[in-house]
Amino acid sequence: MENLPTAPYAYPAPVTAPLPVPLPPTFAEPHPRLRMWPVLLTLYFLAPLIAEVLSGSTPPLLFIQPFGFIFTPLLYGSSAILIREIVVRRRLGWGNVLLLGAAFGVFQEALVVQTWYDFIAKSSPSYQPSGYGVVWGTYWPWAVELSFYHAIISIALPLILLNLFFPQRAALPGLRRRGVILWLVWLIVPCGLLAFAVATTQFAKQGYHGPPLGAYLLGCALLVALLLIGSFVRIPTPRPQPDRQAPGVWTVRFAVFGLTTAFFGASILLPDLRVPAIITSLVVTTIGGFGLWRVRTWTARNGWNARHWLAIVMGVLGWFLLLWTPLMEFGQHAPLREGLVLANVIAMALAFILDWRLKRRIARTAPPSVSQPEPIPAAAWAAAPTQSPLS
pLDDT in tens, 262-296: 999 999 999 999 999 999 999 999 999 999 999 99
**Nearest alpha-carbon partner for 263 in 55, 115, 17:** 55
- DSSP classification of residue 204: G
- Residue 320 located in a structural domain: yes
Number of compact structural domains in the chain: 1
8-state DSSP, 333: -
Please state the length of the chain.
391
> Which pLDDT score, from 0 to 100, does residue 2 have?
60
Q: Dihedral sign, CA of 375, 379, 382, 387?
A: negative
- Please report which confidence band the pLDDT of residue 367 belongs to, taking 50, 70 and 90 as the band edges: low
Least confident of 55-69, 70-84, 122-136, 342-356: 55-69
Q: How confident is the model at residue 1 (pLDDT cuts 50, 70, 90)?
A: low
**Residue 338, in any domain of the structure:** yes
* Per-residue DSSP letter, 258: H
Q: 3-state class of 178 per DSSP?
A: helix
Q: Does some domain include residue 21?
A: no
For residues 389 and 164, is the Cβ–Cβ distance under 8 A?
Answer: no
Q: Which helix (H) or strand (E) holds 229?
A: helix 213-232
Position 372 in a domain: no
pLDDT at 15: 35
> Is 74 exposed, middle or buried (CB count within 10 Å of its CB: 0-12, 13-18, 19+)?
middle
Decide if 119 is inside a domain.
Answer: yes
Q: CA angle 354-260-344, nearest 5°?
A: 45
* 207 inside domain: yes
Residue 242 lies in a domain: yes
Range of the domain at 166: 37-262+292-365
Residues 262, 121: contact at Cβ < 8 Å? no
Query: Which residues, other chains included, contact 361 with Cβ-Cβ below 8 Å and sequence gap of 6+?
Result: 4, 376
pLDDT in tens, 215-253: 999 999 999 999 999 999 999 888 999 999 999 999 999
Give domain status of residue 267, yes or no: no
Q: Could you give the CA distance from residue 246 to residue 178 in angstroms, rounded to a whole number?
A: 42
Confidence at residue 331, expressed as pLDDT on a 0 to 100 scale: 84
| Closest to 304 measured CA to CA, from 66, 12, 34 | 12
- pLDDT tens digits along 33-72: 688 999 999 999 999 999 999 998 888 888 988 888 999 9
Distance CA 125, CA 109 (A): 10
Distances (CA, A) of 75 to 68, 179, 322: 10, 16, 27
Which pLDDT belongs to residue 351? 98
* Whether 282 contacts 267, CB under 8 Å: no
